């Protein structure tokens, strides 16, 4: 079967008896076309099944309607959920996505990645790489001079660049305060890998809340995991050995909390009477753990969607010639979802 030849805007204009400019005005919803002409042109477009060339349109409008996205660690739930929010919102707003995934978190030379996206004429770039180790040092050493807007996600605040992130420190505080309010006093912490900024922030929230309550969190009151359920199982066993009086634990993500609940079940620890448990992330499955898991909710899809909207707003503002103004950081606030795993009172 021979492929059908693509219709051109010139051919559609000839069939409609109008200029190509009129066809373009109809396609772009411009008001300067009479209702009769608009109806006739639209009828011909529909009958022919004409689809305008996005390449040609981008050349005329001097835009690609494409956003570059740099990410890493898509095997982890957090980065993958953020990317899901980015892709769905970009599509809804009429933008395509050009994705670049770093081969590893500690990729230091990011200039070739930016240049690769710019060579494909993206209208803006989202940096959605979690801060792990020193992989964000390029931001502090020198702000990137890019011809297109850049928005940061899951990165430390930057004075010259807009960013969108959840307040992980606040999340650690509200989780720990909830356990205190339930009457627990020996509250341990199972952290994520502490080379991740988010894990450190959640740990600091736990520490500061206990100190504010007159308690003294010690190094042996916490153990580091790697975000997986298996590491949660191992970490709780170790934590119970070194902190036997522990009566509650704040776990830095719901996956590790799954491992915690399994260990407690195997060892006959009643939850929440003997051990209160609070997780983090509010995975859809956390409501179906046994017992159902109290957790700190952060909607990472919303974070991705918010970043897309912020980037498009900057792109459109630049296109309209609006004066440059500092963009306020967008800090999203997590919410506590209370379920049976922590309700002792």
CB distance 277 to 257 below 8 Å: yes
Quote the CA–CA distance of 41 and 288 in Å, as a whole number: 55
pLDDT score at 241: 95
List the structure tokens of 345: 């009172």
CATH for the stretch 66-166+302-332: 3.40.50.2300
CA 73 – CA 238 distance, rounded (Å): 27
The pLDDT tens digits for 218-254 are: 999 999 999 999 999 999 999 999 999 999 999 999 9
Coarse DSSP helix, strand, coil percentages of the chain, rounded to the nearest 5 percent: 45, 15, 40
Q: Rounded to an integer, what distance in angstroms lies between the CA atom of residue 195 and that of residue 53?
A: 46
d(CA 32, CA 2): 39
Q: What is the pLDDT tens value at each position of the chain, 345 positions in all?
A: 333 456 677 888 888 888 877 877 787 677 788 888 888 888 888 887 776 655 445 444 456 789 999 999 888 888 999 999 999 999 998 899 999 988 887 776 788 888 889 888 899 999 999 888 877 777 766 455 678 899 999 777 777 788 899 999 999 999 999 999 999 999 999 999 999 999 999 999 999 999 999 999 999 999 999 999 999 999 999 999 999 999 999 999 999 999 999 999 999 999 999 999 999 999 999 999 999 999 999 999 999 999 999 999 999 887 776 655 556 788 999 999 999 999 987
Confidence (pLDDT) at 294: 98
Cα distance between residue 261 and residue 107, in whole Å: 35
Predicted local distance difference test score (pLDDT) of residue 55: 47
Residues of the chain with CATH 3.40.50.2300: 66-166+302-332, 168-298+336-342
Q: Are 270 and 290 in contact (CB under 8 A)?
A: no
Overall fold of domain 168-298+336-342? Rossmann fold (3.40.50)
> What pLDDT does residue 6 have?
62
Q: Provide CB contacts within 8 A for 135, sequence distance 6+.
A: 105, 106, 107, 108, 129
How far CA 63 is from CA of 56, 80, 178, 292, in Å, comes to: 10, 27, 49, 49
């Amino acid at each position: 079967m021979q492929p059908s030849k693509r219709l051109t805007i010139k051919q559609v204009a000839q069939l409609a008896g109008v200029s190509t400019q009129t066809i373009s005005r109809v396609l772009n919803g411009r008001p300067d076309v009479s209702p009769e002409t608009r109806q006739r042109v639209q009828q011909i477009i529909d009958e022919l099944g004409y689809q305008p060339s996005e390449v040609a349109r981008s050349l005329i409008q001097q835009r690609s309607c494409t956003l570059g996205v740099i990410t890493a660690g898509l095997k982890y739930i957090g980065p993958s959920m953020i990317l899901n929010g980015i892709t769905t919102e970009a599509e809804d707003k009429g933008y395509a996505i050009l994705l670049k995934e770093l081969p590893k978190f500690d990729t230091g030379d990011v200039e070739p990645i930016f240049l690769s996206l710019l060579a494909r004429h993206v209208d803006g770039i989202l940096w959605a790489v979690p801060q792990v180790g020193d992989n964000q040092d390029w931001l502090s050493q020198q702000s990137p001079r890019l011809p297109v807007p850049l928005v940061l996600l899951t990165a430390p605040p930057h004075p010259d660049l807009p960013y969108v992130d959840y307040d992980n420190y606040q999340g650690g505080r509200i989780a720990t305060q909830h356990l205190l309010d339930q009457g627990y006093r020996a509250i341990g912490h199972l952290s994520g890998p502490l080379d991740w900024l988010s894990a450190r922030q959640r740990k600091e929230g736990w520490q500061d809340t206990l100190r504010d309550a007159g308690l003294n969190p010690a190094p042996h009151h916490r153990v580091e995991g790697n975000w997986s359920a298996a590491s949660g199982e191992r970490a709780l066993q170790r934590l119970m050995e070194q902190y036997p009086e522990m009566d509650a634990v704040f776990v830095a993500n719901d996956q590790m909390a799954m491992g915690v609940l399994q260990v407690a079940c195997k060892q006959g620890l009643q939850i929440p009477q003997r051990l209160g448990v609070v997780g983090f992330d509010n995975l859809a499955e956390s409501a179906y753990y046994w017992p159902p898991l109290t957790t700190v909710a952060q909607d990472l899809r919303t974070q991705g969607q918010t970043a897309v909207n912020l980037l498009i707003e900057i792109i459109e503002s630049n296109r309209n010639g609006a004066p440059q103004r500092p963009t306020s950081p967008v800090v999203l606030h997590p919410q506590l979802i209370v379920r049976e795993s922590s309700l002792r009172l």
